[in-house]
């Protein structure tokens, strides 16, 4: 009870300060471009930390440690896929997207793709924005749902009330300050996340030898005692099954190649090439440290508690921290899990609202860029409405369906738009008609693949990327380029 009270005090204090910080950053919004893309004037350190906080969600603090605890060394392949994908994005894609955003003076993800592909810009904007907004409704809802579950697990708050509390935390500064507020609140959250992921494993490794009741006194001993499936890189699988395990983990790589709009927007918003280089170095260093730390926390949990003893493996991170740190310090670090969830929810919310308002609503209303006040009001109203709809969806639909759709998002949007961005950046022959067909084919294939159960055999994260790539290349050669492509 004492630990729970300390955790509650720390969390309430942190979240209150976070809201104030977000609102303060919102006061600096002076133009529509500030609200939508921070004026394309982000310093490298802010862009890098925001991109990493957004990219990891609660996955890095809850999901991956839980997976490492439950599966042992098999979790390495997921980490390798993510890390290689993130490093590739920062080295090969980030600076190019930043330069293209400046060249075409774009404000949204689909705005760039549309302007790059001539007279098909309107259908590309509409189709691309519709796809992202539809799926991100459920993605934002999943973050609200995760907030409700986390508050229930920690404080026994009713999940429905927990979802409402999560929305109340996120919505005010996101509606008020837009992309700028989201980025600078992400910075704080990224610092807390990396502190937990570095400090926790370092202290935990030394603490194992001093805890008599621990299952093992070291990580290698824990993996060995837990069984061959924990100590094997393939979960004791051999042959084709081993290949499926490896590819299933590594498949996360394909979604990072420019195809996650909430991450690519950070690249596009960086001030200049010099700041992009700084951002690259910070982003890569953060990623390597974070993934090593996340895996280590899971394995430390295995050493502390033994295999299969936790009812929910994804609670291994807070349980480890409470076991090795004094309650006050553990409370501060556990707040990182909430920080990770918030950093994804607000980013997805502002991305959805800007895609909808900039590419669909404002063109219909013929709201020109000259009328900043009207544009800003429109953007804020759309953001608030999307938050309300996402909260409603999370309340109505079963959690299983919402998380299934989140799986569609990573495969469908990540795999599909990665192909679109890669070919747009690196293949001059790729044209607007092929872009439209790639987007539609990728999303339809993902849904069919996952609904029919084929996801259990080969991950849609791989297959969507492959199928989208084939469709894109064939469409480029077969479908003639339009006069404005």
Per the model's pLDDT, the better-predicted residue between 186 and 238 turns out to be: 186
Give the list of residues 6+ apart from residue 8 with CB closer than 8 angstroms, or none. Answer: 154, 155
Residue 483 CA to residue 485 CA, distance in Å, equals 6
Highest mean pLDDT among 74-78, 211-215, 388-392: 74-78
Domain definitions of the chain by residue range: 2-400
Question: Is the pLDDT assigned to residue 149 strictly greater than 80?
Answer: no
Query: 204: pLDDT confidence band, cut at 50, 70 and 90?
Result: very high
Give the pLDDT of residue 403: 56
Question: Is the pLDDT assigned to residue 485 strictly greater than 60?
Answer: no
Query: 441: pLDDT confidence band, cut at 50, 70 and 90?
Result: very high
For the chain, state the CA radius of gyration. 22
Residue 187 CA to residue 304 CA, distance in Å, equals 32
Question: Is the pLDDT assigned to residue 484 strictly greater than 70?
Answer: no
Residue 73 CA to residue 429 CA, distance in Å, equals 43
* Segment 41-48 mean pLDDT: 96
Q: Please tell me the number of Cα atoms within 13 Å of 278 on its side-chain side.
A: 13
Task: Render pLDDT for 298-327 as a digit per residue (tens, 0 to 9).
Answer: 999 999 999 989 888 888 998 899 899 988
Phi, psi of 270 (to 5 degrees): -70, 145
Task: Render pLDDT for 339-351 as a digit per residue (tens, 0 to 9).
Answer: 677 778 888 888 8
* Segment 333-359 mean pLDDT: 81
Question: Is the pLDDT assigned to residue 473 strictly greater than 90?
Answer: yes
Residue 168 CA to residue 156 CA, distance in Å, equals 18
pTM confidence score: 0.90
Per the model's pLDDT, the better-predicted residue between 164 and 3 turns out to be: 164
Per the model's pLDDT, the better-predicted residue between 62 and 220 turns out to be: 220
* Segment 9-33 mean pLDDT: 87
SS3 484: coil
Question: Is the pLDDT assigned to residue 1 strictly greater than 60?
Answer: no
Question: Is the pLDDT assigned to residue 398 strictly greater than 70?
Answer: no
Give the pLDDT of residue 366: 63
Question: Is the pLDDT assigned to residue 259 strictly greater than 80?
Answer: yes
* CATH superfamily to which 2-400 belongs: Sodium/glucose cotransporter (1.20.1730.10)
Separation in Å, CA 253 to CA 11, 86, 212: 33, 8, 40
**Angle value at C-alpha 160, between 155 and 162, nearest 5 degrees:** 40
């Amino acid at each position: 009870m004492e630990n729970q009270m300390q955790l509650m005090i720390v969390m309430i204090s942190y979240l209150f300060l976070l809201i104030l910080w977000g609102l303060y950053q919102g006061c600096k919004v002076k133009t529509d471009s500030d609200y939508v893309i921070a004026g394309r004037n982000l310093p490298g350190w802010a862009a890098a930390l925001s991109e990493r906080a957004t990219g990891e969600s609660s996955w890095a603090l809850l999901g991956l440690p839980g997976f490492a605890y439950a599966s042992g060394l098999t979790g390495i392949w997921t980490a390798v896929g993510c890390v290689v994908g993130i490093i590739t994005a920062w080295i090969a894609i980030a600076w190019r997207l930043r330069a293209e955003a400046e060249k075409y003076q774009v404000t949204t993800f689909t705005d760039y793709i549309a302007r790059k592909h001539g007279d098909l810009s309107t259908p590309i904007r509409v189709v691309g924005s519709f796809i992202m907004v539809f799926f991100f409704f459920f993605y934002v809802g999943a973050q609200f749902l995760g907030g409700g579950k986390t508050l229930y697990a920690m404080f026994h708050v009713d999940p429905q009330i927990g979802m409402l509390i999560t929305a109340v935390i996120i919505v005010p500064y996101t509606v008020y300050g837009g992309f700028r507020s989201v980025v600078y609140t992400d910075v704080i959250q990224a610092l807390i996340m990396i502190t937990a992921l570095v400090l926790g494993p370092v202290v935990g490794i030394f603490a194992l030898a001093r805890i008599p009741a621990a299952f093992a006194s070291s990580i290698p001993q824990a993996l060995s005692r837990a069984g061959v499936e924990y100590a094997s890189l393939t979960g004791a699988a051999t042959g084709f099954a081993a290949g499926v395990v490896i590819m299933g983990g590594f498949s996360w790589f394909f979604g990072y190649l420019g195809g996650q709009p909430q991450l690519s927007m950070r690249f596009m918003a960086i001030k200049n090439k010099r700041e992009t280089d700084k951002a690259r170095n910070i982003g890569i260093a953060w990623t390597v440290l974070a993934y090593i730390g996340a895996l280590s926390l899971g394995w430390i949990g295995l050493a502390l508690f033994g295999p299969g003893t936790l009812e929910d493996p994804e609670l291994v991170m807070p349980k480890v921290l409470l076991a090795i740190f004094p309650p006050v310090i553990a409370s501060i670090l556990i707040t990182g899990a909430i920080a990770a969830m918030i950093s994804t929810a607000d980013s997805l919310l502002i991305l959805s609202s800007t895609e909808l308002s900039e590419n669909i609503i404002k063109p219909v209303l013929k709201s020109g860029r000259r009328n900043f006040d009207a544009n800003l009001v429109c953007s804020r109203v759309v953001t608030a409405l999307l938050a309300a709809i996402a909260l409603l969806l999370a309340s109505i639909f079963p959690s299983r369906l919402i998380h299934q759709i989140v799986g569609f998002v990573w495969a469908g949007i990540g795999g599909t738009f990665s192909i679109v961005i890669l070919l747009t950046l690196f293949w001059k022959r790729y044209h607007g008609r092929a872009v439209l067909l790639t987007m539609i084919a990728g999303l339809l294939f993902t849904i069919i693949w996952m609904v029919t159960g084929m996801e259990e055999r080969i991950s849609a994260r791989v297959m969507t990327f492959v199928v989208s790539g084939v469709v894109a290349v064939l469409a480029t050669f077969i479908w003639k380029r339009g006069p404005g492509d």
